[in-house]
Amino acid sequence: MKYSDDFGKSYDVIIVGAGVNGLTCGAYLAKAGLNVAIVESRNECGAFALTEDLFGGENPTDTHAAVCFLPMSPVWGDLELDKFGFDLLLGKSGAAVVWPDGKNYIYYYDLDLQRRELERLSQKDANTTVALREKLLPQALDLLWLFFKPPTQEGEEMFFNLGNCAGISPSEMRRLNGLDLLDNLFTEEHVKMLWLAAADIGLFGDVSMPGEGSVAVMLSSLLATGTPKGGMHTLVHALVRCFRHHGGTLLLNAPVKSVDLSPEGQSGPHTVVISDESPYPIKEIIAAKAVVFNVSPPIVGQLLDGDKLKTRDPELKSKISAWESQGHCAFISHFLINGLPNWGSREWNKDVDISPFVLRPYDSWEHAHLSQELYHQEKTMEVLGDIAEIYNQTGQDRSRMSKDGRCTLSVEIEYPVSLDDYGGFGAWDNKELIDKVHDAHAEMMEKLAPGFRNQIVDSLYFTPLDNWRRNPSAIFGHEIGGDNSGPQWYTGRINPRSKINGLYFSQGIWPASLTHLGNGYVAACVVAEDLGIRNQEWWVSSPMEKFIERYTQNVKAN
């Protein structure tokens, strides 16, 4: 590559970190006309949205992020990702719940099918759900927008006012956790568990916490997912193509050594210092208007001068110093199997076979309470396989099945990561212990899909410690930018717009860093507003807009 004297010396905006949300922020700002650079320490983008051939048999496997929540997002439409090679498959449903007792529940997008399935479990609870849905739907768009805007006190009040849809006061919603709310709403335990399973994936907070848990349950009814054809990394590729198409500069193998802030009182510029290990000859690049951090807050603390940060934004310094990243940390087992899983609940509803995202909820409501209690006591080995996210994308995307009829199935479970009873976090390298965790995942699958063990050709796993090694910004293996519950729920997260002119965040903010790309969108919005370029004729899509358009087309075609 030829470098001129002017190459890479200055940009309007520099984004540190090329995860999917850093790419999203960069693509918006580049499309809006800014000169944008994204600097990334690794040699590829989207570290937690990789698709790899783990077993060398032409079976693409999403090694971490495997559920695409982009249908919820305005990003799909605004950035026209379809034009950049992104193909999102939408079936009759995005997910299912399976129980070892032979029952299942399919989360159909068709509301009549939803009601039919609920009536099979409980007529009374089906009626309750329909009545609740009728009150929720008129405000669904306003609620969804809360995931694509910075948190506000008004937004928090709107969350707790959701209780009014079920005859529960806002003050009572603040007191109830998710399990309490479900006890108030429903009678049949399978119905309670299917609602809990959708909320317990952690998108909206911790279901066991008062207030945020009740909100998480209510918001879970708004979830929508799809399956990227060929794997999640196609989303990364589309974002990179979009960013580059609009003039963005992507610097890989460029670890950042530090970010030197402009003097106090000045709006800029800030200087991003690249490590001496980088092959780029220029080691200092100027962000004339803004720097956006798409790395977790503790990493930001390492890149900024702590004394200057404490003086200029003491609240931000305090949050970064106290940032918690030990909840919601995943252990992921990947299995190469012959054929698709033989779900034991197929006779209940055969559409479980084509569900790409399968939730394993608790065995009973009593089990749910016990497991939640043990989890919060950090009894990791006592909750093995109690609840899981199961990725069976080949059920919807047959391009992922090899010619010899093999495919991969992945089991992701969030565990307490401290392992204090076993010597501490480093025990995630204790092969005897982690093999037990992996085997528990196989045994869980055997109960849900009898004969699963005989289908296994090969397997491997990534522990929370492995995840941290694969992505240094994922402290303790935390994949969503730090805990998003308790003190770090909603308004407790990092503000996307700091008090320091030209310093922004697209990681560690609300919402959690996931494939709806909400935090990249939020960061792009606040930067564009501050620079006076937010008013763009193409920047107009709403949450769910593209999904509704595509889903309607699919229904008409079939």
Name the token pair of 190. Answer: 């399978």
Token readout for 198 is 């959708």
pLDDT score recorded for residue 409: 98
178 and 242, same structural domain? Answer: no
pLDDT of 501 > 90? The answer is: yes
Q: What is the CATH number of the domain that holds 271?
A: 3.50.50.60
pLDDT of amino acid 267: 65
77 and 118 together in one domain: no
Residue-wise pLDDT for 415-470, tens only, equals: 999 999 999 999 999 999 999 999 999 999 999 999 999 999 999 999 999 999 99
Residue 4 confidence (pLDDT) above 60: no
pLDDT in tens, 318-331: 999 999 999 879 99
Q: Which two tokens stand for residue 378?
A: 């950090």
Is residue 288 included in any domain, yes or no?
yes
**Tokens representing residue 250 in the block:** 């992507």
Q: Is residue 77 part of a domain?
A: yes
Range of the domain at 205: 112-216
Q: In the prediction, which pLDDT does 281 show?
A: 87
**240-259 burial code (b ≥16 CB/10 A, e <16):** bbbbeebebbbbbbbebbeb
For residues 210 and 283, state if they share a domain.
Answer: no
Tokens of 483: 């805990």
CA angle 153, 157, 161 (to 5 degrees): 170
Q: How confident is the model at residue 6 (pLDDT cuts 50, 70, 90)?
A: very low
| End-of-domain residue from the set 216, 241, 263 | 216
Q: Say yes or no to pLDDT of 264 above 90.
A: no
Of 206-215, 262-271, 493-502, the least confident: 262-271
Q: Does the residue 81 lie in any domain? A: yes
253 has a pLDDT exceeding 90? yes
Last residue of a domain, one of 216, 249, 268: 216
pLDDT of amino acid 479: 86
pLDDT given for residue 558 in this prediction: 72
The listed range with the strongest mean pLDDT (55-59, 347-351, 475-479) is: 347-351
* Domain-located, residue 389: no
DSSP assignment of 369-423 equals HHHHHHHHTT-GGGSTTSSEEEE-GGGT-GGGS-TTSEEEEEEEEEE----GGGT
In a domain? residue 42 = yes
**With pLDDT > 70 as the criterion, what percentage of the chain qualifies?**
98
Average pLDDT value for residue range 189-200:
96
191 with 260, same domain: the answer is: no
Q: What is the pLDDT of residue 1?
A: 31
Residue 297 has pLDDT above 70, yes or no: yes
The pLDDT of residue 509 is above 90? yes
The verdict on 140 and 209 lying in the same domain is: yes
In a domain, 148, yes or no: yes
DSSP H or E run through 349: none
pLDDT at 5 > cutoff 80: no
- What is the percent of the chain where pLDDT is above 90? 91
Q: How many domains does the chain have?
A: 2
Q: pLDDT at position 131, please? A: 95
Would you say residue 162 has pLDDT above 60?
yes
Q: 438 in a domain, yes or no? A: no
For residues 46 and 72, state if they share a domain: yes
Q: Find the mean pLDDT for residues 378-404.
A: 95
Same domain, 262 and 295: yes
Per-residue pLDDT tens digits for 235-247: 999 999 999 999 9
| 117 and 188 housed in the same domain | yes
Return the closest-CA partner of residue 461 out of 397, 402, 413, 513: 413
pLDDT tens for 10-52 read 999 999 999 999 999 999 999 999 999 999 999 999 999 999 9
- Average pLDDT, whole number, for the chain? 94
Q: Do residues 259 and 188 both lie within one domain? A: no
Same domain (yes/no): 211, 253:
no
Residue 210 shares a structural domain with residue 235: no
Is 349 a domain residue?
Answer: no
Q: What is the pLDDT of residue 44?
A: 92
Determine the average pLDDT of the residues in 47-65: 94
What would the two tokens of residue 351 be?
Answer: 């559409």
Evaluate if residue 9 carries a pLDDT over 90: no
Q: Are residues 118 and 206 in the same domain?
A: yes
